[in-house]
């Protein structure tokens, strides 16, 4: 990676994402299920179901995290 590329893309280009992180509790299927939310559950209910904090669910829904999963 050249200096220009790093300046343009920064750490995002080389950062690990999703299940490549050793502490990830969600996977791509869980993220898709959270975004679909077929049962209409609240963020707290989904958080309890997946074993994460409710703010994690809110970030997934808003696209602040797991943005690479469509």
Confidence at residue 70, expressed as pLDDT on a 0 to 100 scale: 86
CA-based nearest residue to 29, from 59, 62, 60: 60
Give 6-62 pLDDT, tens digit per residue: 777 777 777 788 888 899 999 999 999 999 999 999 999 999 999 999 999 999 999
Q: How far is CA 65 from CA 5, 16, 31, 35, 69, in A?
A: 23, 12, 10, 12, 9
Backbone angles phi, psi at 4, to 5 degrees: -65, -45
Confidence at residue 49, expressed as pLDDT on a 0 to 100 scale: 96
Residue 64 confidence class, pLDDT cut points 50, 70, 90: very high
């Amino acid at each position: 990676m050249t200096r220009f590329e790093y300046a343009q893309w920064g750490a995002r280009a080389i950062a690990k994402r999703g299940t490549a992180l050793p502490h990830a509790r969600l996977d791509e299927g869980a993220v898709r299920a959270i975004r679909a939310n077929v049962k209409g559950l609240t963020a707290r209910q989904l958080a309890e179901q997946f074993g994460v904090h409710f703010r994690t669910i809110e970030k997934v829904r808003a696209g602040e995290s797991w943005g690479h999963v469509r």
